[in-house]
Chains A and B, each alone.
Chain A
């Protein structure tokens, strides 16, 4: 380990510099005979050839560093010395690599002052390809190995590697693109830097007006957003808790159905819930029709605006809260509850003074996720908002609307980020540093105390009507795909499904002739790639943040929230800004879509992981360490199995969000990589609801199948606890 790892990475980096094309090949590696042009062809040449043969001298220093690392790895040095040397060398190499990539771009020097300082450059460079990327990864690995051998991160190379991976990837795929767009908040339309412009942009009355309090017109978008998010966070947490309690602590018979029902809204492609709500509660909707017919109440338009958006958001985000909370509620140890009862606390006191406080990290996390989901939500406000504007819609229209003002969009995005930051800070203050560990290594923990009657009834009376309502809405939606015109002509038809998913048999085999197949398979493929990456990155980050001590931990935790809190449209445009030009020119590929999925959705994995991890007693880790289990062994054989609900949650979320995201990927899809959601949205824009809903139903079926598969593959967490069914008779 001492020598082999740095040796292997130095060698890998050097091999990449010799044997792979340094720059990206536009049409893909397998499209051209690059092997023969590795030295002579300027397009396909390896890093070494570029530096020696094609006049790209600036590539030489980082490559020399790799050689130095190889020498250091081979030299007979004490561990600590080698670590210091490796870390220094690879650090310098990374700086050199970054400097040349930033300074020299598609058109030679990338900034005017560089050209005037050094003179015009005869050469230029494109995006990083296989060779360049691998060399970069090798240097990053060497840095983490070096730091670990020097003694950082508890001297553990695994922890060091994990921190470096997570930090570097978040820096590259979250911070870097977001920085690109946020800096525009300080620039005027000609790109001139004017810091005061931000204040000017944010001071507008449209943002801060409080007229609605005195009943004269609408309030500013900032207040709208804040108020909506607070209501959504609180509401979805309460509903999520009710569902979690019913699902884990009562003898309710249809728990599985309940679970599926609560999951339905997250796996619903956007706009469908909004449209269904309009068809049920809209002016010409079912409810109003009935009220007018039976009681003569004239139809109203209450669904448009705050109430409708809140309702749709509660629908959409309660399941997320439920996913965060279920593991937490399950994890609360009966031992403490039994102890409370032994001390003569009644069930109500036990619930309010023991169980609930132990769920605090979960509740706070659920609230935070609900709050941030709400401020970043775009689909529901756009369908149901009417006059009620929120920041995300304002930002969207600043980018794509009649004004095309990136500066304004960036300024509003900063405001949105500030809100997320404030919520994040408050959540940390609330949860604090207290211990919530209730999963320990001690065997049977006793029976969970039955819920007090009041709590049980409340939970039931909240959860069950809500579930019934969800069921109604979905039944109604499902019908939409099977009738001629949803909301208008209810003649049954299969035409929409045939149009989307027909398969023809011919002499050469099956022809997938349906209009939706192309985007369907692309979506399945990309989501299946993104989900495990999202979950792995999210959970590893959670583990680092909760279990490891290192400098910049809180920063890392916050950085994972960044891309989640920024609305999708901004992320999409930011990705185009950052990744349409070298050094990382990946627009138009499937890679950029996958990266966007992973880094946008890993936050929920992080939150769920953190909530679950803070319940697992550290002594388990220590026991494993005492038995000479290394850090990786402890992680994979002790922590991970106890985190199965969180793993399932992160995987499921990673998959379904990849399938249902719209606003972030609108700018990233291409003719080759079209996604299901963008296809559906175009259908909705055309008023072709039948096809849109038929497609959405197919996607829902796909995601349900994926969830079942994920649950099956990951398996249940087995805590040493007896089943709860025993007390069901009494309930």
Chain B
């Protein structure tokens, strides 16, 4: 029976492992969470307190979550996808990975959040919005004696030569929002003209969308183009970072929530979705030190949060620029006209 040994060992460990899967007779909902981890935990605890439904929370970035949803499409394991930038949510709706649902709270939301819902055929809705802007390192700018950038045009100044960092749109949704914003601001040709000039001041097109603001925090670059709430996070961590939004106008992302098509706990998923749109749920973001603008009009906005009223926002066309065909086209134009330029 010697031959049995390796097999027996494998069988035993496999069965042992299979048996450790805990029993869960309780009402549960599986949430894929793409906001910051403190916010995720807080939301899970509060929802559980409010409804008695146990939240099984897995935190992942929005790109990773949509990759997972796509891989799991034949046999979905998640129920709700909470948070994360809007484009992947729109993409999931386009790919039929998420379920259309009309929440009774829809009427309480800001128009931009509702528009996200209508644009996607009802499959997703906005829960917060975050504006695109600049992050800068106050110490490095002081050392250089440079004034903080206030407009897109300022980034072209010679004193920022090799000091600006922005992500590569091939991999980063943030960089794509930047390009789409400029295109909507000035028209496509003028926008690419600007990007070409800006290239002289860029030191690196990073792969990740949040890398530039981290580089600013650590003094590796002076200025970055980032979502301003990410800059606030670094500043709160103790780094000399300040944020501003461009004077010409800027775009924004709509953090969204979607229900997974074929969710195993559909009723609880809808319960979580409805709850996430209430002021009680949305004020948790600020408690977790995340200062995006909540989508429910009745949610109290904390004083630290950048006010959308003070920001010159463009009328960002999520429906047009969230479509994958348009995205592919703009990115490949960026590739051939900007990405292939030699390093300045």
**Are A and B part of the same complex?**
yes
A580 at the interface (CB under 8 A from B): yes
Tally of chain B residues near chain A (CB < 8 A) = 79
**B20-43 toward A: CB 8 Å interface, digit per residue (1/0)?**
111111000010000011100000
Query: B299 at the A/B interface (Cβ < 8 Å)?
Result: no
Q: Which residues of A contact B343 (CB under 8 A)?
A: 217-218, 387
Asked if B56 contacts A576 (CB within 8 A), the reply is no
Contact of A141 among B7, B38, B335 (CB under 8 A): B7
Residues of B within 8 A of A27 (CB): 21-25
Interface residues of B in 32-80 (CB under 8 A from A): 36-38, 56-61, 63-64, 66-68, 70-72, 74-75, 77
Smallest distance from the beta carbon of A708 to chain B beta carbons, Å?
24
Residues of chain A within 8 A (CB-CB) of B239 are 485, 488, 687
Most buried by B among A218, A587, A671: A671
Chain B residue contacts of A688, Cβ below 8 A? 237
Q: Is A403's CB under 8 angstroms from B71's CB? A: no
B74 touches A573 (CB 8 A): no
Tell me the complex Cα distance, A393–B75, Å.
28
Q: Which residue of A133, A158, A536 is within 8 Å of B2 (Cβ)?
A: A158
| B251 neighbours in A (Cβ, 8 Å) | none
CB–CB B72/A401 < 8 A: no
| A666 adjacent to chain B (CB < 8 Å) | yes
Contact B2 A594 (CB under 8 A): no
* Residue from A158, A400, A670, A686 in contact with B58 in the complex, judged by beta carbons closer than 8 Å: A670
Chain B residues lying within 8 Å of A698, measured Cβ to Cβ, are none
Q: How far is the CA of A401 from the CA of B72 in the complex (A)?
A: 18
User: Complex formed: what's the CA distance from A304 to B162 in Å?
Assistant: 13
Are B238 and A28 in contact (CB-based, < 8 A)? Answer: no
Interface flag for A382 (CB, 8 Å): yes
Q: A485 contacts B204, CB within 8 Å?
A: no
**Chain B interface: which of A75-83, A278-286, A418-426, A467-475?**
A278-286
CA distance A24 to B61 in the complex (A): 30
**Which of the residues B15, B72, B140, B233 comes within 8 Å of A130, measured between beta carbons?**
B15
- Determine if A216 and B342 form an interchain contact, defined as CB atoms under 8 angstroms apart: yes
CB distance from A15 to the nearest CB of B (A): 13
Is there an interface contact between A485 and B238, defined as CB atoms closer than 8 Å?
A: yes
A686 touches B7 (CB 8 A): no
Give, as a whole number of angstroms, the nearest-CB distance from B37 to chain A: 5
Query: B68 contacts which chain A residues (CB < 8 A)?
Result: 576, 667
Q: Which of A366-418 contact B (CB under 8 A)?
A: 382, 385-387, 389, 393, 397, 399-404, 406
Does A43 touch B at the CB level, under 8 Å? no
**At the interface, yes or no: A672 with Cβ under 8 Å from chain B?**
yes
Chain A residues with Cβ below 8 Å from B220 are 278, 282-284, 301, 304
Task: Looking at the assembled complex, report how far the CB atom of A394 sits from the nearest CB atom of chain B, in whole angstroms.
Answer: 8
Contact of A30 among B19, B72, B218 (CB under 8 A): B19
Determine if B287 is an interface residue (Cβ-Cβ < 8 Å).
no
B210: chain A residues at CB < 8 Å are 685
> How distant is the Cα of A334 from the Cα of B153 in the complex, in angstroms?
72
Residues of B close to A30: CB separation below 8 A: 19, 23
A69 CB to nearest chain B CB (Å) = 15
Residues of chain A within 8 A of B172, CB atoms compared: 401-402
Contacts of B67 in A (CB 8 A): 399-400, 404, 573, 667
Question: Chain A residues near B271 (CB, 8 Å)?
Answer: none
Q: Give the 10 A-B CB pairs with smallest separation, nearest first.
A: A284-B219, A397-B171, A31-B23, A400-B63, A28-B21, A401-B171, A161-B3, A576-B71, A485-B238, A671-B56
Q: Can you offer 22 A-B residue contacts whose CB atoms are under 8 A?
A: A4-B1, A31-B23, A137-B11, A140-B7, A157-B2, A217-B342, A278-B218, A278-B220, A301-B220, A386-B204, A397-B170, A400-B61, A402-B169, A402-B327, A404-B70, A536-B6, A576-B71, A577-B71, A580-B72, A580-B77, A589-B17, A685-B61
